[in-house]
Amino acid sequence: MLKTPDMLLLFCLVGAANALYKQWIPDTNYENKTNWDKGAVPCGNDIVQFSAQRQVSVFVETTHAVQEMRMPVDGEFILNSGAGFYVLAGQEPGCGQGVTTKFKDSDSLQWFNPALWQAAATVDDLQHGNFLFSVHEESVPCQYDEVVFKALSSFRVDTSSSQSSIPVKSVSVQGKKFDSKSEFSQYLSSRSGRLQFHGSSAVTVGNPGCGDPSGCECGNSVNHQRICSSVTCASMNCKMPLLPIGHCCEVCGAIITIHYAPGFNLQSYRQRIHHLFLVQPKYKSIQLGMSKVVKSQRLMGIIPFSPSPEIQVAILDGEKGKKSEALASEIVKDARSHGSNLGITGAEFQASTGSSSNQSGGNAGMVVGIVFGVFIMITLIVIVVVLIRRGIRNGDIGELGGPLDHGFENPMFDKPNMLSDIPGLSGTETNNSISMTQTGVYFVNPVFDENETDFNA
C-alpha cells in the first residue's frame, strides 16, 4: 500500500458531491530508470532494445545518445520539445564499456490493480503528494471519479474486466481532459490510444458526477474478485482482525458504521472529522477511509430484508488497533452528541481489540427489526384468536376444548321424522327388521327389497 512519509493524514471520501482524482502511477517514460532491466537509463555506449513482439508507447523528455537501438514491430516515441536520439562517434566518458539494456514489458499492468493508483481530493493535492487512503475497491477509479494520467508521460494499461465498459467521469491524457464520449472514443481509436489502452473493456467518459450530498456507491463491487486477485494480504497480529466492506484483506483497527437521515452531507462530515481529530499529533499514523456502502438489514438479527445505505469509516493504524479504537470511540461520541445537527441518527464501532460500542437510541436497523418482530407477533396472535372464535361460533366444544365432530349425516337414522315414511321402520313393524334363517340371524335392510336380488338364502 502506498504511503507518503510526511503525510499528516490519509483520508478518502468516496461518493462526495465532488469526485476524487485517481492518478495512474506507472509510466512508459524513457527517463524512468525503473522501466529498464538494468535499473538505469541507457547511456551512449549501450545498446537499447525494445521487445520486437510487444507494443509500447514511450515518452522521451530529453535528448539521449545511444550506440544502437532495436525497435519493436509496433510502437511509438512521443518526443517532448527538443527531445531525440543520436549516435556517438566514439565512447561516452563515464558510461562504461556498454551493455544491452532492455525496456521492461508493460503489458501486465492492470487497470484493476489498486496498488497502481493514487487518490487525491484535488489536482493540486496530486502534484504535492497529498494522497488519500481508501479500501481496495475504491482505490481503483470509481464511476464518479476523474482519471489522470500524468502530463509529459506515456503509459500502457490493460483494461480487461468482466464488463464491456469502465465508466468514469473524465480522463486526462498528456494534459488534455476528455469528458465527451465521442471525443474520447476518437482518441482511443488513434495510434497512441490503441498503444496506451488495451484489453477487453473500453474506458468510457461522460458519467455524471454524484448528485447525492450523502454520497454515492463507488460501483466497483462487481469487479471485487478481479481487484483482490492482485492484492497480497499480510498476516494480522491483532486480537480480532476486521474486514471492511470493499477491502480485500483483514485489518487491525476499527470500523465505524454511521446511520444518517436526509440532512446528512458526507463532504461536510469529512471536513469535521479532519479538523476535530485527524490533525491531532497522536493520530498522525492513522489511515482513515470513508465511503457509502449498502448493507443487508436483518430482521431480529437473522432474517435478511431490504438493503440499507450506511456510511462506513474504516480506521487503520497498524499497531494492533489501539489508536484506532481510541479514535473510533471519540468519533462515535461526537456523532451521538451532535448527530441531530449533522443529520446522523446513530453511530457504532467495532475494534480489532475486541471492543465495540452499542448504539443507544439511534440504530435504525435494530429499530426496524424490533418493529417488524412486534408486528409479526401481533399478527400471529390476532390470527389465532380469530380462528378460535370461529371454532366456537360454528359448533360445540368437544372434550379437548375444540368443536365437537358429528361426522356425516345418515339420512335414515339421524332424522327420526323420515323413518315414518318407510313401511316397517317405525311403530310395531320394527320387529320385522330382524329375521332368523337356517344360516343364522341377520338384520333386514329396510331400503333393500330382497325379492329383487338374484341370490336367495
Q: Which residue has the higher pLDDT, 106 or 416?
A: 106
pLDDT at 358: 63
C-alpha–C-alpha distance, residues 123 and 247, integer Å: 25
pLDDT at 134: 93
- Note the pLDDT tens digit of each residue in 37-47: 999 999 999 99
Q: How confident is the model at residue 224 (pLDDT cuts 50, 70, 90)?
A: very high
Burial class (CB in 10 A: 0-12, 13-18, 19+), 80: middle
Residue 236 has pLDDT above 60, yes or no: yes
Domain ranges of the chain: 14-227, 232-298+306-358
C-alpha–C-alpha distance, residues 116 and 114, integer Å: 5
Listed residue (443, 422, 441) closest to 432, CA to CA: 443
Lowest mean pLDDT among 71-80, 242-251, 358-367, 441-450: 358-367
**Rounded mean pLDDT, 2-17:** 39
The cell for 226 is 478481479
SS (H, E, C) the chain: CCCCCCCCCEEEEECCCCCCEEEECCCCECCCHHHECCCCCCCCCCEEECCCCCEEEEEECCEEEECEEECCCEEEEEECCCCEEEECCCCCCCCCCCCEEEECCCCCCECCCHHHEEEECCHHHHHHCCCCCCCHHHHCCCCCCEEECCCCCCCCEECCCCCCEEECCEEEECCEEECCHHHHHHHHHCHHHHHHEECCCEEECCCCCCCCCCCCCCCCHHHHHHHHCCCCCCCCCCCCCECCCCCCCCECEEEEEEEECCCCCHHHHHHHHHHHHHCCHHHCCCEEEEEEEEEEEEECCCEEEEEEEEEEEEEECCCCCHHHHHHHHHHHHHHHHHHHHHCEEEEEEEECCCCECCCCCCCHHHHHHHHHHHHHHHHHHHHHHHHHHHHHHHCCECCCCCECCCCCCCCCCCCHHHHHHCCCCCHHHHHHHEEEECCEEEECCCCCCHHHCCCCC
Name the region of 401 (left: φ>0; alpha: ψ -120 to 50; beta: rest).
Answer: left
pLDDT at 246: 96
What distance, in Å, lies between the first and last C-alpha atoms of the chain? 105
Listed residue (340, 379, 345) closest to 365, CA to CA: 345
Instruction: Give me the amino acid identity at 85.
Output: F
pLDDT at 94: 86
Q: Which residue has the higher pLDDT, 189 or 321?
A: 189
Would you say the C-alpha torsion 171, 172, 178, 183 has a positive or negative sign? negative
pLDDT at 379: 81
* Residue the block writes with cell 485517481: 22
Tell which CATH architecture fits domain 232-298+306-358.
2-Layer Sandwich (3.30)
Residue 153 has pLDDT above 70, yes or no: yes
- Note the pLDDT tens digit of each residue in 264-307: 999 899 889 989 999 999 998 899 999 999 876 655 555 555 67
Radius of gyration of the chain (CA): 40
Instruction: Give me the amino acid identity at 452.
Output: E
**What's the pTM value of the predicted model, to 2 decimals?**
0.72
Burial class (CB in 10 A: 0-12, 13-18, 19+), 328: buried
Residue 139 has pLDDT above 80, yes or no: yes
